[in-house]
Amino acid sequence: MTDTTIAIIGGTGLTSLKGLEITRREVMHTPYGEPSGPITHGVLAGREVMFLARHGYGHTIPPHRINYRANLWALKNAGIHRVVAVAAVGGITAEMAPPRLVFPDQIIDYTWSRGHTLFEADLSHVTHVDFTHPYCEELRHALIQEARQIGLDFVDRGTYGATQGPRLETAAEVNRLERDGCDIVGMTGMPEAALARELELCYATCAVVANWAAGRGEGQGEISMEEVDRNVAEGMVNVRTLLENIIPTL
């Protein structure tokens, strides 16, 4: 086992990591089935890291079919202690404009029927984990500090509403999310964050606002996939810059 402690989980728009010098790929088998793909080991900005594409390296696994338990278990078993999770989201509140970066500090789970816990079988006792603050504040603050230092456009907090997918939300559903206190909406935030907490991983999300959520933004028309792709591409350039700058400091 290497001394690598940092993993990057790539979402939509980040199925590979430019600048990563790949040293090997590791196929992992877990008690929860197969992960989204092999774990990619490599060197980024002079530091050993691991990378896993959440939707598979061909971006073929929809959010509700991702084996989150296998993904997180595999990273933990490979020796990871910290995880930077990259995700594309929709912006709900006014400051969550595309293609801004967001470092959420809270999350609300609207998903269902996903394998959402490691503590459900062969237990010696019922296990609960504290989830008051769902993200690792140490890692989240490090990301924020680095983003500020290199001059990126970002929001340093917000509540992530995790929906089931793979369809996008209705305008009425987005209205409900805002009433509930959500600032951004995505489909992969849960149970990934909770599983990381169960595994005692330091986990934080770097979200790219890919589009205004349904009924938001100018015109309030249908969401354009061309616009989403354009914003994701622009946002991921900033994510890569952030990762290249922060990885050596962690």
**Predicted local confidence at residue 227, as pLDDT:** 87
Tell me 169's DSSP state: P
Q: Which is higher by pLDDT, 2 or 71? A: 71
Catalogue the E-assigned strands of 125-183: 154-155, 159-162
Tell me 89's DSSP state: E
| Sign of the torsion angle spanned by Cα atoms 242, 248, 104, 189 | positive
Give the Cα separation of 104 and 208 in Å (integer). Answer: 11
**Predicted local confidence at residue 223, as pLDDT:** 84
Q: What is the pTM of this model?
A: 0.92
Amino acid at 146: E
Q: How is residue 114 written in tokens? A: 């996903």
Q: How confident is the model at residue 62 (pLDDT cuts 50, 70, 90)?
A: very high
Tell me 124's DSSP state: S
Cα Dmax for the chain: 56
Task: Answer whether residue 89 shows pLDDT above 90.
Answer: yes
Residues forming beta bridges with residue 44, ordered by sequence position: 47
Binding-site residues from annotation for substrate: 187, 211-213
Give the Cα separation of 193 and 195 in Å (integer). Answer: 6
Binding-site residues from annotation for phosphate: 12, 54-55, 188
Place of tokens 């020796």: 79
Domain 6-249: homologous superfamily in CATH: Nucleoside phosphorylase domain (3.40.50.1580)
Range of weakest confidence among 15-19, 78-82, 148-152 = 15-19
Over residues 157-166, the pLDDT tens digits come to 999 999 999 9
Binding-site residues from annotation: 12, 54-55, 187-188, 211-213
Cβ contact 207:101 at 8 Å: yes
Domain edges within the chain: 6-249
- Residue 9's closest CA among 137, 144, 139? 139
Percent of the chain residues past pLDDT 90, beyond the cut: 78
